[in-house]
Structure 1
C-alpha cells in the first residue's frame, strides 16, 4: 500500500492530502463533498439549461445499461461536455455511480473529476480522488498534480501549493513538466513572490525540464512589476543566448516596466528591436505605451501615439480610450477625460463599466464626490451595471473627503444591492477609518474579519500594517507581521516595505535595517520603494553617511529618487550645502 502525506509536523495542511489506496471517494472519506442524485434533479441549483443536463444524464444511464459498455473514451467525452456546461456536481455524482457499477475508468476521467472539484473551489475534496488512482493501478501524471496546484493557488493556499510541489520533486512522486513549473511560478509571481519565482527558474534549468518562452515571460513580467528592470533585461539576454526568441508578451512586460520607471529611451530602443525581429506592435503594446505615458502625466504624447496607431492601421479600442481618460483623471483634468469619453461614443465605441469607473475615480480624486454620485446614478440608465469596483471607488472617495456617515450608508446600500464586499472593499473601509482617526473602528473590523477567517490575501494585511505604521503603532504592526506565517500567509515585498517605511518614519533606523536583512534572507530583493523609504529615513535623521551608502546601491541598480526623497534632499542641502559635494563625488564614482 502506498501512502502520501503532505501534512506538516503539527498536523496542519490540506486535510485530504493524506491518502492511501484503501480510501476511496465515498461519503465517509469526503462527506462534505457528497453530491447525491438529488442534486442532479434540482435544476435551479445547478443553474444551467435543464434540457442539456437532462440529456447528459439520460445519455449516461443509457450508456451504463448498454451491452457491451461504451468505451472509457465515450464516458470521458460525456464528462468533458458536462464540465464545459459547468455541471460540476452532476458530473461528480455520475462518476460516483460509475465507481459503484464497477465501470472501468482512466486517468483522463480522474483528471476531469479533480478539475471539477477545483472549479467548485473544493480542492480539499479533489485530493480525495487520488486514492482511486492507486486502487485501480493508474499511475499519477503531471496533469493530475498540475490541476491540484492550480486549485490550491485559486483558493490562495500558497503554502500548501509550494509544499505539494516540493514533495513531488523531493519524493519523485511525479516528474514535473513545464506546465507544473509554470503553474507554481505564475501562482507565486502573482502574489509578489518574485525571488521565489526566479529561484524556480534556476531549479528548472538544472533539471530535465527546459524552460520555454512562457516560463521566461512569467519571470520577466514578475521582475518588471517589481521595478527590477535590470534583472528582467538580464533574463531577456539569457533567453537570447539560449536561442529562445522573445515574443510580443515579453516586450509588453518590459515596455510596461520601463514606462512605469519613465525610461523612455529604453522603451524606444525596445520598439526598434521588436520591429527588427519582425514582431510588430499590436494594440496591446500600443495600449501599454499609452497607459505608461498617461501614468507619467504625458497624456498629450499618449494622444499622439494613438494617432500613430491609426496611421499604422492599428485601431484604438476601448482600452486605449480608457487609458487616456485615466491619464487626464490622474492629472485632475476630469473635463478633458469627459471629452475623450464623448469622442469614444462618437466613434461608435460603447463605454463599459471601466470607462464609468475611471470617470468616477477622477471625480473622487478631485473631491467632486457629488459629481461622482451623479454619474453613478446614470450608469444603470445607460444599460450598464455598476460593479464592486464602482462601489469601492465611491466608498474611497467618501472617506477621502471625510464623509464617514455617508460612507457607512453607501456601504450599507452596496450590501443591500447584493454585492459581496471583497478584500479591497474591507481594505478601503479600514484604511478610511485609519486616515480619519477612527483607529478603534479599524481594528474592530479587522479583528471581526480575521475571526471569521474571511481574509486570505496578504494585501489586506498590508493595508492594516500600513495603517498602524502611519500612526506610529509599530508594536501592533510588528505583531501582525510576525503572525502572518502562523496563519499560512507569506509576507511579500510590499509587506516588508511598509514595515521598513514605518520604522523609518519613527526614526528607528536600526529596526528598519533589521527588517531589510530579514527581507533579503527570505528571498526578496529591495526595490525602488524600499530604497526610497530608507534614504528618506536617513535624511530625516540627518545621517548623511549612511544615506549615501544606500544612495550608491540604489543608483547602481538603476533606481531613482521619488518626489518625497527629492524634497527631503533639497531641504538637507539648504541646511548643509556641503552635502552637495558629497553627492557629486558619489555620482562621479558611480559614472566611472
Structure 2
C-alpha cells in the first residue's frame, strides 16, 4: 500500500492519475484526500505494530473482512505477515472464509481452507465445524465432503458435528446420492456420533425419492431398533414414499396410524410440519380426492391448527395449479362456518386468472365480498385484464368499484390499472367515462393516467381522440403533457401517415412547452418517417438530434441503417456507417444485423460478406444472428460453397451454429443429397454438395 501511495504521488507530479475517476468538484477531491490520508495512517500503524501483537492483527483482519468486506486485502495482509513470521490462527482463518462466502466466492473459500490446512494452519475443532457449516451453504456436498476428508487426514482427532453430518446427508439425498449418504451414517457412528431422528428421517426421505421403498422401510425399522422413536414427520415422509410408488392401500393405512400418532405427540411444530409434508406429497402425486376427504373429515382432529390445515391445503393445491380444487376447499370451510385466509383466497383467484378461468375468479370475488375480501393489487390487475380480453365491461367495472371501496388504497393507481386494461378493448367511450368518474370522485388524473389514455387511443387508431386529450392537457384542464405524452402522440400520427403534424409537434409544440426531446423521442420519429418512405425528413430529424446535443444510441443507428436500406439508399447507408457510426463507437449486434440484412436484401451479398469479415478483423463480435443472415442469403442465391465458408468463419470467431443455422443449410440440399451430419461438416466445412 505504501508503494502504491508513492506511485500515485509520483504520477501526479508527472501529470498522471492512477486508479481514480476524473472529478473536478472540491467535495470529491477532499473526500479522495481524506480516504488516502486514512489509508496512509492505517499503513503507518501496520508498520509500527509487531507481528507478536496478535490482538491487533485479529482486529485488523476482522475489520477488513467484516466491515470493509474485502477478503482480497485481508489475504494480502496475511501474506505479508507470514513473510514476517506471523502464524495465522483460527480467528484469522474464520474471518477470511466468512468474508469469501459473503461475497459468493464459495469455490475459492473451499480452496483457501484446504491451502491453509495443507500449510499446517489447522484451526481448532469448533472453528473447523463453523467453517464447514458455512461451506455447506454452497449446497455442493461433494466439494464440502472432500474438504472434511482432507481435514480429517491432517487432524485425525477431528469429528464433524452432528448438525454438519445431518446437513451433508440431506444435501447428498437432494442430489440422489443416497447410498453415499447412508455410508456417512456408518462413518458418523464410527466417529462416536449416534444418529438422531433427523438423520433417519432424512435418509428415509432420500430412499423414498429414488423409489427404494423397501430400503426406506428397513431404515425405519432400524431406527426403532436403535431406540429412536420416529416422530410425525418421519411417518409423513414414509407415507409420501408409498404414495409415490402408487401403493395407495399401504399409504392410507399408515395415514390412519399417523393421525393416532399425532394425538400422543407433544411437539406442535413437528405435527404441523408432518401435515404440511403429507399434503404436499399427495398433491405432487395427484391424490386430490384424498385431500378433499381430509378436508371434510379432518381426521387429525386438534393435532394441527384448523386454519393452518385448510390454508395449507389451499396453498398446496394452488401451487400445483388445481385452483378449482382449492375453491372446493373453500366451500367445505364455509359449510363448517370457517372463513378462508385472505392470502389463500387471493391465491385461488390469482391462479384462476392465470389459467384462463377469469369468470370463475369473478364469481369467487363476489362471494368473497361477503366476508370483506379484497384482492391484492396484482391480482386485481390480472382479473381486470382477463375480463377485458373477454370483452365483459360490466364485470370489469364491478371489480373496479369493489377495489375503490378498499381502505387505504391509492385510487389513482387503481384507475390507472383499469385504464391500461381497457386499452385491449376498442371501447373509447368507456375510457372517457372513467376519466369523468375520476373527476367526479375528486380523484385527479396524473401523468400516467393521461399517458395511458393517449396510448390507448393511438393503439385503437383514434388519434384524433388522443389529440383532443392532448389539447385539454395543454389548455390546463388536466396536468401538463410530458415527453412521453408527446412521443406517444407523434407515434400515433406517424402510424396514420400524418408526418407533417408529427413534425409540428416535434418542432413547435415541444419547444413551446419547454420539453426537450430525448433519444427515445427522436428514435420514434425517425422510425416512423422511414416507414412512410420519408428518408430525407428522417435524416433531417437526425441532424436536429445532433444539433440538440442529444447522444444517439445504437438503436438510433440501427433504425437509420435499416431505413436507408429499405428506401434503396444503400450507398448512403455505407457512407453513414463509415462517417458516423463506426467513429462513434456506439454500435452493437443490432446495428450489425440491420446493416447485413439491408445489404443482403438489396442484392449486395459480396459487400455483406466483406463487412462481416471486416467486423471480425476489427475486434467486433457479430453474433449468430448476423452470420445466419448472410448464410440465409447465400442459401437463397444457391451459393453453397460461400455458405459453408461463412459457417467456418463463424466457428473460428467463437460462435456456435444454432437450430436456425442448420435449418438454413438444409435448404441448400435437395432430396437426393441430404444434409451432412454435423461431424462431417466439422471435418470439411467448405463442401459444396
Identify whether the pair has TM-score above 0.5, normalized to the shorter chain.
Answer: no
Larger Rg: 2
TM-score using structure 2 length: 0.37
The higher relative CO (CA closer than 8 Å, separation ≥ 6) is in: 1
Task: Report the TM-score, using the length of structure 1 for normalisation.
Answer: 0.42
